[in-house]
Amino acid sequence: MYSKDKMLITGGHPLAGEITVSGGKNTAVAVIPAALLCDAPCTIENLPDIDDVHALIEILETLGAKIDYVPGKYMTVDPTNAKGYHVPYKLTKRLRASYYLLGALIGRGHHAEVAYPGGCDLGSRPIDQHLKGFMALGADIDDRGGMVYAKADKLVGGDVFFDMVTVGGTINVMLAASKAEGNTIIYNAAKEPHIVDLANFLNSMGARIKGAGTDVIRIRGVQKTHACTYTVIPDQIETGTLMIAAAATRGDVTIHGCIPTHMEALTAKLLEMGVRVTENDDSIRVRPQGVQRAVNVKTQVYPGFPTDLQQPMTALLCMANGVSTVCETIFDQRFKHLDELRRMGAKIRLVDRTVLIDGVSELYGAPVTVTDLRAGAALIVAGLMAKGVTEIYETTYIDRGYERIEEKLRLLGADIRREKI
Q: Are 77 and 40 in contact (CB under 8 A)?
A: no
Taking CB under 6 A as the criterion, the residue among 174, 263, 373, 386 binding ligand EPZ is 373
- Taking the least distance from each CB to ligand EPZ, the nearer of 140 and 362 is 140
CB of 306 to ligand EPZ, least distance (A): 6
The residue nearest ligand EPZ at its CB is 168
From residue 401 to residue 420, the character string flagging contacts with ligand EPZ as x (rule: CB under 6 A) and all else as - is: x-------------------
221 binds ligand EPZ (CB under 6 A): no
DSSP secondary structure, 8-75, as one string: EEE-----EEEEE--B-HHHHHHHHHHGGG-SS-EEEES----HHHHHHHHHHHHTT-EEEEETTTEE
User: Which amino acid is residue 97, in one-letter code?
Assistant: A
3-class DSSP assignment, residue 357: strand
Residue 120 designated active-site: yes
234 binds ligand EPZ (CB under 6 A): no
Taking CB under 6 A as the criterion, the residue among 75, 330, 386, 414 binding ligand EPZ is 330
151 binds ligand EPZ (CB under 6 A): no
The rounded distance, in Å, linking the Cα atoms of 170 and 174 is 6
Taking CB under 6 A as the criterion, the residue among 331, 335, 393, 397 binding ligand EPZ is 331
168 binds ligand EPZ (CB under 6 A): yes
Taking CB under 6 A as the criterion, the residue among 3, 200, 307, 324 binding ligand EPZ is 307
- Taking the least distance from each CB to ligand EPZ, the nearer of 186 and 320 is 186
83 binds ligand EPZ (CB under 6 A): no
CA distances from 128 to 119, 144, 148, 248 (A): 17, 13, 11, 39
216 binds ligand EPZ (CB under 6 A): no
Q: Identify residues 18-37 at the interface with ligand EPZ (CB under 6 A).
A: 25-26, 29
- Taking the least distance from each CB to ligand EPZ, the nearer of 393 and 402 is 402
The rounded distance, in Å, linking the Cα atoms of 404 and 19 is 12
How many CA atoms, within 13 angstroms, populate the side-chain half-sphere of residue 110? 13
191 binds ligand EPZ (CB under 6 A): no
Rg (CA), the chain: 21
CA distances from 374 to 5, 8, 68 (A): 18, 17, 30
* Residue 206, φ and ψ in degrees, nearest 5: 115, 5
Four-point Cα dihedral 325, 329, 332, 333, nearest 10: -40
- Taking the least distance from each CB to ligand EPZ, the nearer of 135 and 323 is 135
Q: Are 394 and 372 in contact (CB under 8 A)?
A: no
Q: Which of 38, 42, 120, 228 is catalytic?
A: 120
CB of 26 to ligand EPZ, least distance (A): 4
CB of 307 to ligand EPZ, least distance (A): 5
Residues near ligand EPZ (CB under 6 A) are: 25-26, 29, 96-97, 120, 124-130, 164, 166-169, 190, 192, 307-308, 330-331, 373-374, 401
Which positions are catalytic?
A: 120
